[in-house]
Structure formats: C-alpha cells, structure tokens
Structure 1
C-alpha cells in the first residue's frame, strides 16, 4: 500500500475500534462479502476509490449498493472507507479484508483461539499437496474452492474460521494459500494484542524451551508473543524463527548453505 492507503486503513481501524458492541460476527462476514463484490466489479471499485470524487457522491454509491444489505456497523465502516483517500482503488479490497478479519477477532468468544484454528487449517492444507492445489490453484473455480472449504471445515472449525478461509480461497489475488492463512492468523493476533512467531524445528521442542523463547521474543518485540511450532526435518537442527517480516535463521541447513556459498566464492 502507498502512504495514503496506509493512513486511510489506520483511520478505518480506529472507527472499527470505536464501534464497540455495535460490531458483530455478521459485520465481519459482510465486510468480507463487500470485499469480494468490489474485487469482482472494477467499476464499483474505481467509483469508491476515485480520489477526486466528492465524498457525498461516493457515500451515495455506498448507500445505494449496500445500504439495504449490511448492518449499521458495516455501513459506518464502508462510509469511512469511501470518505478516505486511497493510493489505489485496489487497496480498498485489501482494507476491507483486513477490517473483516479484525471484526471476527474482536467478536470471537474468549473460548475461541481463532488464530490457532487458522494455523491448524494451514498445517492441514500444506501437508496435503492435492488439497493445497485444489484450494490454492489460480486456475481453480472460486465457487468450487469455496464449496470444498465448506465441506472440509463445517462442523470441525468455528463459523469465523469457515468464513475467513472461504473468503481467502475465493479471492486469493495472486497470493499463495499458506501466505493467506498465515497472514489472517497474524491479523487476528495483532488485533488481540500479541504477535505470532512461527518457529520451525527439525523435531519437537520441549515446553520449557518454548516458554523461554516466548518470553525472550516478547521482550524484544515489546508485546506478548505466541509460538506456532512447525516441524520440518529438512532444516536438520537449530531453529528458524519468523515474526512478520523479521526472520532469525539459526537452522543447521541455513548455516550449511552459507558455508557452501563461502566455499564457492
């Protein structure tokens, strides 16, 4: 996103925070649905993202198209989005996706670990090449991928996870399925006040070591950290840690690769 879009998204998140009890899981579903509508309709997307159009005109478009089909909280957020200035009209789709996932995070019951469910889905998908292809292929039919996601998750995951996963596989916009699910989990974690550290190890790591690592990372990043442990024997030993865009690669495989590069130079 350009600077204007980043500022607009921060403003929209502020409005999301202010809605309080007006917000519901339905709002999350509706925001994701509007994101899909705008992704499929370039003219509507351009109309709302037009930087020179008057706010009153864009608000009238929002009211005419969505006013009778969304709740008041969603309509407030859509009006905020329409009132804002975006670097590119396509950024509105990204923003609505972000807001929809955050709405689910805000309204999830305390007993639901939404980020963990999303990461569990990602682990299941990434471990099955055929399933990963079926859900993530750019050549797949959106409705078929959504139907497959519903078949796999109905009765096994929360309604929030089902809605998010179904949305992501329907409009991947050039992103890989693993990237989509990990990104959604990070958004949930961020909204709920912590970060996710994906720790890849060659074998299982004892709980005490993981607890020490969580505390150390929490100090470094100045916020609580939850570890998502991934087992990958190909790294041979050590740990590969990723938090957002930051990577700490202490794996044996990385050290061997670096040694090979040095010997070849």
Structure 2
C-alpha cells in the first residue's frame, strides 16, 4: 500500500487495537472471510473504496452487506475500514485481510503465544524458501486449494500453534498474486510491529552462538534506539561478515558485498 491507503490501514489497525477484542477468538476468521467476499466482488469493493462517495454511505453499505453474516464487532470493523480513504478496491481488500491477521496476533498476544507464532512463521518461511518442490506445490495455481490445504495440514498440524496454521493456510489458499515467501515475511514483520519492536533479518555465512546473537541484537538496539528482534538466516554465499535488513534499510558488511564493490571499481 502507498499514500492514503497506507495511512488508512495504520489508522484502522490502531482503532482495532483500541477495541476489546482479545477474547473474541472468531474475529480473525470473520474479518478474513469478509476480505474474501470483497476480493470476489469487484463492484462491491470498488463502491466501498470510492472516495467520491460520502463516508457515511460507504459505512452503511458495508453494514448492509455483512449484517447477520459476521459478528457485530467484525461488521463494525469492516464498516470503519470502508469509511476510510483507499487508493483502490484491492487496497481495501488487503486492509480488511490485514486487520484479520492483526486480530489473530492480538489473540496470540493475549494468550502469551505471540513470540511462538512469530518464530513459527519465520521458520515456515525458511522451510518454504529452502524447499523448491514444496514451494512449487504450495504456490502452483493449477493445484486445487483443498489439496494445498491438506498438504499444509499434513506438514504443520500438531506441530505449530493453531494461529500460525490458520494464517499460513489462508495465504496458501488465497494467494491473490502474492509470492508466498513475501507474504510470510510480511506477517512476521506485522507480528514484530505488534510488539513495538524492530525486526532485523540477519544473514551470516555460518551459524552464530546464542551469545553472539544477543550481542548483535543489543548493538542494533543501541543504533536504532528500539528493542530489536533478530532472525538469522545462514547463507554461505555471503562468505563472511554479516548482512542486516531492517525494513527497507540494508546494512551489508558481508565479504561478498565488499568483493563486489572491488570488482565494480576495477571494471569502471
């Protein structure tokens, strides 16, 4: 999302956080289901995101569509989203879906399992990235969504938190043109943001010790003046050193990066 859509989603997420929704276990699935309805109805999503229509009219339309189909609180959250400014109908779909994800994370946080869910999402992201056959099976549009769901349940059921399983299942069944790895990474970042911490994706040439990881997190925390979660990925191609990505910012201290800089200077 860009511009007004990003601002609207941020405000809608804050409004969701101010509601007493932690104990409403079905809220996430209802919001995600609402996003699926909007994704499948272009006329509706475009009408609800049309900034040329009065806010009250868009909110009333959302209520008329979803009343009796989802719980009252879920309906009001969708109506609130519809009343905000969006660059496109697809941004509204993404926002309602994102609010469903946020509701799931709030539920996990209330149960003291948010750290677990975030870690599991990251590990699943790494599993998918490292297994070409699995990635193709889960991303292949010609494969029936139900078969993908069954494959996913076979891999994860009983091994991860139910919140983790449902979030990943949704991404697999409803890709909406997204790369699965990018979608999983976005969920990890959303979870980290939920805890008001920065997420640092760190690539190293070889595994580091727990003490080294702790000292790295502390050093990054001093730089950014925020608590930092470190998620490690081992990639022999970096050769040595460390590469850190926080949001759109990259700190590349790897040997491979320095060698590439030297190579560019030699040929320039």
Tell me if both proteins adopt one fold, taking TM over 0.5 as the criterion: yes
- CA distance in 2 between partners of 1:219 and 1:140 (Å): 47
Shift of 1:143: 3.8
Task: Tell me which of 100, 110, 113 is aligned to 2:112.
Answer: 110
1:45-69 Cα offsets, whole Å, 9 max, x none, are 1121111223343233322322212
**Is residue 2:40 matched to residue 1:40?**
yes
**Alignment correspondent of 1:227:** 230
- CA distance in 1 between partners of 2:9 and 2:70 (Å): 20
**Alignment correspondent of 1:197:** 200
**Alignment correspondent of 1:147:** 150
Determine helix, strand or coil for the equivalent of 1:131.
helix
Structure 1 residues 120, 25: closer, same or farther in 2, change over 3 A? Answer: farther
Determine helix, strand or coil for the equivalent of 2:175.
coil
1:113-132 Cα offsets, whole Å, 9 max, x none, are 21101001111111211001
Q: Structure 2: which 5+ residue stretches go unaligned?
A: none
Whether the 8 Å contact between 1:218 and 1:225 is mirrored in structure 2 is yes
- CA distance in 1 between partners of 2:177 and 2:22 (Å): 33
Q: For structure 1, which segment, 145-154 or 85-94, has the greater mean C-alpha deviation from structure 2 after superposition? A: 145-154
Counting only pairs closer than 5 Å after superposition, residues 171-190 of structure 1 correspond to structure 2 as 171-190=174-193
1:58-88 Cα offsets, whole Å, 9 max, x none, are 2333223222122232122111011112121
Whether the 8 Å contact between 1:138 and 1:174 is mirrored in structure 2 is no
**Alignment correspondent of 1:59:** 59
Number of equivalent positions: 265
**Alignment correspondent of 1:11:** 11
Structure 1 residues 104, 244: closer, same or farther in 2, change over 3 A? Answer: same
- CA distance in 2 between partners of 1:144 and 1:61 (Å): 35
Whether the 8 Å contact between 1:105 and 1:192 is mirrored in structure 2 is no
**Alignment correspondent of 1:124:** 127
Whether the 8 Å contact between 1:31 and 1:96 is mirrored in structure 2 is yes
Whether the 8 Å contact between 1:106 and 1:192 is mirrored in structure 2 is no
- CA distance in 1 between partners of 2:131 and 2:218 (Å): 33
Whether the 8 Å contact between 1:189 and 1:196 is mirrored in structure 2 is yes
Shift of 1:139: 4.7
Shift of 1:165: 0.7
**Alignment correspondent of 1:162:** 165
